[in-house]
Structure 1
Amino acid sequence: MNFDFDTETAEMRDMVVRFARRDLGDGTAAHDPEDFRRRWQLAGKQGITGASVPAAYGGSGLDAVTTAALMEALGYGCPDQGFAFSVAAHLFAAVMPITEFGTEEQKQRWLPSLASGEAIAAHAITEPEAGSDALSLRTRAERKGDAYVLNGSKCFTTNSPVADVFVLQAATSPGGGFFGLTTFVVAAGTPGLTVGPRYDKVGLRGSPMADVYLTDCVVPAADVLGEEGSGAGIFSSSMKWERTCLFATYLGAMQRVLDSTVEHAREREQFGRPIGGFQAVSHRIVDMTVRLESARLMLYKAACGLDAGSDDEIAPALAKLAVSEAAVQLGLDAVQLRGALGILGGEAETFLRDALPSRIFSGTNEIQKNNVARALGLGGRRSRKLRQR
């Protein structure tokens, strides 16, 4: 086990940090779709929006560990965690499914522009009545000749206000369980697909998000991703990428906030000495460090599993749990250690707001615990995967 990045990866991380600090902004300005796309295209030129896409389709061709390292650098250098989140959601929830399950025609059609930053992708699965219960989608896709007709609605769809293409899940066999869902690749502007107003959220404000509506939306059968009935499997595969590599952006943001908190504790004086000299402060900072380093190890272990082709469901779930819980607690600690300054607009309170959603998206932390418990054989027959670990 080597816990150090090679020279090439370390140089890439430094490059991404410098780029993000220089060109991506802090996310405090009001959302401007044109500026968002401008920054997106800059990230594309740096190879970020297509990091894990094979070079044959215009991507950087990075493995999961190196991709996670790049995403961590993005989170560290870009104070706009919402923008970093949007880039990661585009890549892992939408682009990687096309990469792994698309036909050659679909890959040639979509991946070059998605990898280069010319196009933006959104993944639409969550519905008002189907959040954690993803197999109970009400959006229907009815086969009619050489096309499907989609009707329904999606909510909380990241990037939908600016997306050029949607990777969308619908039920082709209602009540069919795991094999009842089908994935479609739908171009923005397709008749019958509309996007609602942009949400105003407590955190991740730099990430545009809205509802998506489908009304007699006709999608050619050639735009089915994978095969009919394979939607749940495609979704599960994308979640392994998302629960691992997307959360690496939070590792970077946590490190950035921890660094500034240490600096604050060194410089802020009370009772004639720096507050970092008080045990209550220093021990809290040590606890922040322990949580961050522990979460980082778990995330890179999950990334190693992705590269090895492991079908382990436990490591990505634990990584998501560890990073999100550590992020929220680190945000709370950073606010507390700044005192009254912590509740004013600034890095600590912004990060705390951005951290709060991390316990909900990509499957709530309660669902992750259910997944791990099931894999451990709790409440049912012991998992064969567990016995082989």
Structure 2
Amino acid sequence: MDFTLSGQQRDRCASVLARTQTAFPAGPGDHQPTASASAYTRAEWSRLADLGLLGASVPTAEGGGGLGALDTALVFESAGRGCADTGILFAAAAHLFSCGMPILDFAPPDTRKRLLPRMCSGELIAGNAMTEPESGSDVARLTVTARRVADGFLLSGTKSFVSNGPVADVFVTYATTDPQAGHLGVTAFVVERGAPGLAVGQPLDKMGLLSCPAAAVTFDDCFVPDEQVLGAPGQGGAIFQHSMRWERSCLFAVYLGVQQRLLDRCVEHVRQRRQSGKRLAEFQSVSNRVVDMKLRLESGRLLLYRACDALDRDDPDASLWVSLSKLAVSEAAVASSLDAMQLFGGRGCLREEGIEAAVRDALPTTVFSGTSEIQRQLIARSIGL
């Protein structure tokens, strides 16, 4: 078993890190947007495309980078280390993994060819519309419905939390087409913003990931033609789980990069900061906390790399490794951001340091892409409980 990255992988990671730091330079400390700041601009979105983040796992024939899951994760990890604005990287990951991959693997050829190159280039922004007011984790009971009509479907209902929603040009969404069939009665669709009957709500006021805007999206007899159905009717549940395998692995690589950046800052801080005539690093309680940060980072990194390798090999146990890695990395992100806050003390509460923003950006990780409780249920099922 070889844990060493190839020369090509190391060079790609170094290049993405350097280019990300240039494209998204940090202000004082690790400054991030305030709650009153607007979402990312189209120019910033184009920078993500230039970095290869918007199409990393899409084949080159469709305008992407042609990378597998592991190499895609390495790219997003490097970007997470180099960019203090985790929200915009989250937006890019949601765009690619929750929307781009389902379109790549399940859209009719004409729809795929029409949308994917423009998504990879940054011309189009995509939002994943799954969560509903009464349905978060239970995706088999969607209240948004899709009624069969001539040449397509009419969608009706509301999706309550759509990342990228306020600025998205394309939505990947899911609706119940057969209420009696449970998860086999859900169908996936791609809907373009100008479709009659589609309405996007006001941006939601969120705690963290502030650069990634979110909003409710409502469908009022919104017509979606047959050529914008993803897969076959009733296949939506499987398509959503397919997208989640990509998101729960590659998106969370961003948080490996964030943890590495926090760890680097904490090591520098405790080596320089003095208290009671000693460097903070000389206090065992401090050094133990930093060691725990390192332990969580490397443990999550190994699990995430294994999950991505399983995806690349089409391993039948891939879902187990994906859930294990998502659980480990998300809970590590929360714990290590809180450790960084403790190590920086009062300075950690200042916006200009960026530590409090890292805490706010980390806390939602145990909720989105399937809660920690859902991951534990999936893992229990995988090991025969």
Normalising by the smaller structure, the TM-score range is: over 0.9
On the 8 A contact 2:293/2:339 being kept in 1, the answer is: yes
Alpha-carbon shift at residue 24 of structure 1 (Å)? 2.4
Which has the higher relative contact order, 1 or 2, with Cα contacts under 8 A spaced 6 or more apart? 2
Q: Offset at 1:11?
A: 1.5
State the 1:13 CA deviation: 1.3
1:370 matched to 2:380: no
Q: What is the aligned counterpart of 1:121 among 107, 117, 126?
A: 126
Q: Does 1:148 align with 2:153?
A: yes
Give the corresponding residue for 2:19. Answer: 19
2-structure distance, mates of 1:317, 1:148: 33
Q: CA offset at residue 25 of structure 1?
A: 4.7
**C-alpha contact 2:126 2:171 (8 A) present in aligned 1:** yes
* Corresponding residue for residue 381 of structure 1: none
Corresponding residue for residue 99 of structure 1: 104
Which residue identity does 1:213 align to in structure 2?
T
Task: Give the Cα separation in 2 of the matches to 1:158 and 1:3.
Answer: 34
1:12-91 matches, cutoff 5 A:
12-26=12-26, 27-28=32-33, 30-33=36-39, 35-91=40-96
Amino acid at match of 2:204: Y
The aligned counterpart of 2:347 is: 341
Q: CA deviation digits over 1:220-239, x for unaligned, max 9?
A: 11110111110000001111
Task: State the secondary structure of the residue aligned to 2:247.
Answer: helix
SS of the counterpart of 1:141? strand
**Which whole-Å deviations, capped at 9, do the CAs of 1:79-127 have from their partners, x for residues lacking one?**
0001111101111110001111122112111110011111111110110
Distance 2:25 2:16 in 1: 14
Partner of 2:29: none
Paired AA for residue 334 in structure 2: V
Q: Percent identity?
A: 47
For 1:130, the equivalent position in structure 2 comes to 135
- The 8 Å contact of residues 257 and 347 in structure 1, kept in 2 or not, is answered as no
Are the equivalent residues in 2 in contact too, given 1:183–1:228 (CA < 8 A)? yes
RMSD of aligned Cα (Å): 1.1
Q: Specify which of 196, 210, 215 is matched with residue 215 of structure 2.
A: 210
**Mapped partners of 1:201, 1:3: distance in 2:** 38
> In the TM superposition, what is the alpha-carbon distance from 1:36 to its structure 2 partner?
2.3
Q: What SS does the corresponding residue of 2:215 show, helix, strand or coil? A: strand
Secondary structure (helix, strand or coil) at the match of 1:175 reads helix
Which residues of structure 2 form unaligned runs of 5+? 27-31
**1:288 Cα deviation after fit:** 0.7
TM-score, length-scaled by structure 2: 0.96
- Name the SS for the 1:126 alignment partner: coil
Q: Alpha-carbon deviations, 1:4-41, whole Å to 9, x = none?
A: 221222111112112222222553265435x5221111
The one-letter amino acid of 1:121's match is A
- 8 A contact 2:108–2:228 mirrored in 1: no
Deviation per residue, 1:144-189 (Å, 9 max, x gap): 1112110000012111111110011011111311210000011111
* Structure 1: segments with no counterpart, 5+ residues: 379-389
Name the TM-score, length of structure 1 as normaliser: 0.95
Q: Equivalents in 2 of 1:311, 1:122: separation in Å?
A: 29
